[in-house]
Structure 1
Amino acid sequence: MFDYLILNCIHRFKGERTVSGIYNLLTGKRSSQTMQDAKGYQVHGYFGIYPNLTRAQLESHIDDLEGKGLISVKKSFPFLTSLGKDHLSSYKGPTLQYFQGMVWHDVIPIYEDRIHLLVQTMANSKAGILNYVPIVEDADVQRWVKAVFRNFHEKLPVLFETLYEEIYHLLKLHSRLEAELLTHRLTGGGMIGMTTAQLREDYDLRHEDVVILLHHTMYYLFIKSKENKKDFPVLHLCTKGLDAAHLITQSARKTFQYIQQGLTMEEIITVRNLKKSTIQDHIVEAALVIPGFSIDSFLSEKDVKDIKEMAVTLDTQRLKQIHEAFSGKYDYFELRLALASSPYEEGKGKAEYEN
């Protein structure tokens, strides 16, 4: 499972990004380079889905894949071998299609904690267990669960049954392996959830497989319930107040606000007392994550079209290749900006970044 994810990243990166690029993507490094890679290579779903991944863990899998002949690594740049391409195309396991890391990676851990603590609290209440240690220590999550109990005190039995039915229904439609892993993780009613180490041993999986499958199932529950309040009211309740990630940095947000006020790049450089390259980074960052952000004052629509078409023709996101193909007609900032333009996701308005 985790190997499939790595192979898919390597496939998408086309040998143009190093192992560090994969690591930065999965751990959600908030740099314009990583975010541009996520968008440009169409792996934004994987952004930030494994924040606790260590470099040693990733390199261990890279070494294994290379040892099996599925990839080859040259100067830290991995690419698929013929055997690796065949292996990827014939993969039959969970396809991890519900990951939407670029949008939701910040809130999924909170959603997961809410569900685990809500299940534990409801199951213990139903079983008459009053004294127990909460499985989630986070004070905000504990307050949220207490508020649910307070607000729905008279409907708790119905709420519990509804939650059970919603989880059961969604897991029944999910992969069996992922459904079983999550079910075994749940604590409550005198039953103690299994640790990732226990799941790894029982299912003969690697630690990273267990983690990534559990994370993916939470994305699945979150997305299904977020978009369908009618069918999954209790799971939808667990999404309340959990909004899409604000990936733009505070400094880039400030630059964006000046642009909205009509200041030119030179004026912003003077007002902010920052290097031109820094302001350019901010503009690219804004183009990457702010829906509807206009770059008309920096590039014409024709220029953007020509740059994007050249990237498609060359089948690359490497700026140097694109720059050489245009014989230096566009500088690197203009190339980055064109490739960054257009939002990676819809549903958030530009206005929320202006305040």
Structure 2
Amino acid sequence: MLFEDILITILKAVDGERTISSPYHLIKGKKSGQTIQDIGYYKLHPYFGVMPKLEKKVYDKAVQKLFEQGFIITDGQVVRMTEASMALQTPVPLLNGWKYRGKEQLFMARLSLIVQSLSQIHQNQRAFDPVVIAEDIQQWVKKYLHKINYRDAESCRNFKTELAVSLSKVDVDAAGKRIVVQRLSGFKIGGLTWEQIAAAERLEVIDIKLQAIETLHAWMDVLETRQFPMMSELLDGVIQQSSLTETARRTEYYFRNGRSLEEIAALRGLKTSTIEDHFVELAMNDPGFDILAFMDGSLYSKIIAVSHSRNTKRLRDIKEAIPEAGYFQIRLALATKGETL
């Protein structure tokens, strides 16, 4: 999947309802209420936080290309798709940003250092410059190597076999696998830079990075099956255990213990609007969330009906049709994905 594909997919989902900056915040993983609720409203979970270090100038360059190709136009403050872009078929993503939230980089760092260490050690090279300098990762890898008895040649072969077989089961293009492998270093072999790989593949660096991330996400999905015990160990602390952000989990704790929205805001020393964002996130992720604690069933039904009939999730448009509904109530209702009560 190329970066242009991600942009087009996101912009199609929010067509005419968000500004051109919306995909940028989503891809960066901004934890604002607007971004979090858009994930639920438009089912954009795969793309959340997939490139937390995305530079604005790189993003702007990609967006400008879409304008020049006639795929998008501006309409006031929002951006709209053209007929040409609506006809485009983008690949089905294997990304899972909401689940991994950038932790694939931890997995890759561990893998890189393990591969380098085993390669060097089994060539009787005890001293080498590690490709990963982060102390916490180095300590984790040291424990892992001792655990698998890294000095044993058979153990090393088993790790190599698991790596190769598990990667072969990843359902991505060969290019994605090739990119990940080319980033690895070993005895007298240095991993290639993003720029070197991009030149060889005749793609932009951002596209190469995205393909690597997609491959890592799909690879970690394979390893989660636990068919490859040595490789699966690398997922320790990588898998997101909750679909909620950490701050929303704290609000959930108070709510489940009978605290009101206002009480939670006071206890946590946060703005009421911030706690409202947390409740929207709860409504988005918890099928058992009690939305009737914030509105009656008839108001909920009105909000969903207007959203469906007008094919919009713009709060202002729905508010104009249902003036008795508060913006927070509208956000909550939309976060439930329009399910009937």
Which residue type is aligned with residue 46 of structure 1? Y
1:338 to 333, 336, 339: 333
The change in CA–CA distance for 1:110 and 1:262 in structure 2 (over 3 A counts) is same
Aligned to 1:204: 202
Which residue type is aligned with residue 325 of structure 2? Y
The change in CA–CA distance for 1:298 and 1:156 in structure 2 (over 3 A counts) is farther
The change in CA–CA distance for 1:300 and 1:158 in structure 2 (over 3 A counts) is farther
3-state SS of 1:79 partner: strand
Contact 1:107 / 1:245 at 8 angstroms: preserved in 2?
no
The change in CA–CA distance for 1:156 and 1:79 in structure 2 (over 3 A counts) is farther
Contact 2:150 / 2:156 at 8 angstroms: preserved in 1?
no
How many aligned residue pairs are there?
Answer: 333
Identity %: 28
Deviation by residue 1:188-239 (Cα, 9 ceiling, x = unmatched): 122111100101111111011011111111111111101x102x22221100
The change in CA–CA distance for 1:47 and 1:275 in structure 2 (over 3 A counts) is closer
With normalisation by structure 1, the TM-score equals: 0.85
Where does structure 1 lack aligned partners over 5 or more consecutive residues? 343-355
The change in CA–CA distance for 1:199 and 1:310 in structure 2 (over 3 A counts) is same
> CA RMSD, aligned part only?
2.4
Which residue type is aligned with residue 229 of structure 1? R
Which residue type is aligned with residue 140 of structure 1? D
* CA–CA distance in structure 1, aligned partners of residues 185 and 266 of structure 2: 57
Aligned to 2:23: 22
Deviation by residue 1:59-85 (Cα, 9 ceiling, x = unmatched): 111111111222223345332222222
Contact 1:248 / 1:286 at 8 angstroms: preserved in 2?
no
The change in CA–CA distance for 1:273 and 1:8 in structure 2 (over 3 A counts) is closer
Please report how far the alpha carbon of residue 289 of structure 1 lies from its aligned counterpart in structure 2 after TM superposition: 4.5
Deviates more, 1:199-208 or 1:169-178: 169-178
The change in CA–CA distance for 1:155 and 1:128 in structure 2 (over 3 A counts) is closer
Q: How does 1:235-254 map to 2 (within 5 A)?
A: 235-244=231-240, 247-250=244-247, 252-254=248-250
Please report how far the alpha carbon of residue 275 of structure 1 lies from its aligned counterpart in structure 2 after TM superposition: 4.9
* CA–CA distance in structure 1, aligned partners of residues 127 and 269 of structure 2: 58
Aligned to 2:117: 121
3-state SS of 2:21 partner: helix
3-state SS of 1:296 partner: helix
Please report how far the alpha carbon of residue 293 of structure 1 lies from its aligned counterpart in structure 2 after TM superposition: 3.5
Aligned to 1:277: 273
Contact 2:16 / 2:75 at 8 angstroms: preserved in 1?
no
Contact 1:66 / 1:73 at 8 angstroms: preserved in 2?
no
* CA–CA distance in structure 2, aligned partners of residues 268 and 241 of structure 1: 29
Deviates more, 1:241-250 or 1:212-221: 241-250
Contact 2:51 / 2:102 at 8 angstroms: preserved in 1?
no
* CA–CA distance in structure 1, aligned partners of residues 220 and 62 of structure 2: 28
Please report how far the alpha carbon of residue 133 of structure 1 lies from its aligned counterpart in structure 2 after TM superposition: 0.9
Q: How does 1:44-83 map to 2 (within 5 A)?
A: 44-75=45-76, 77-83=78-84
Are residues 1:164 and 2:165 paired? no
1:191 to 184, 189, 192: 189
* CA–CA distance in structure 2, aligned partners of residues 159 and 32 of structure 1: 48
Are residues 1:223 and 2:221 paired? yes
3-state SS of 2:111 partner: helix
Please report how far the alpha carbon of residue 38 of structure 1 lies from its aligned counterpart in structure 2 after TM superposition: 1.2
Where does structure 2 lack aligned partners over 5 or more consecutive residues? none
Q: How does 1:240-319 map to 2 (within 5 A)?
A: 240-244=236-240, 247-250=244-247, 252-268=248-264, 275-289=271-285, 292-301=288-297, 303-319=299-315
Which residue type is aligned with residue 190 of structure 2? I
Contact 1:28 / 1:47 at 8 angstroms: preserved in 2?
yes
2:172 to 171, 174, 179: 174
Please report how far the alpha carbon of residue 156 of structure 1 lies from its aligned counterpart in structure 2 after TM superposition: 4.3
Contact 1:248 / 1:289 at 8 angstroms: preserved in 2?
no
* CA–CA distance in structure 2, aligned partners of residues 266 and 149 of structure 1: 50
Which residue type is aligned with residue 216 of structure 1? E
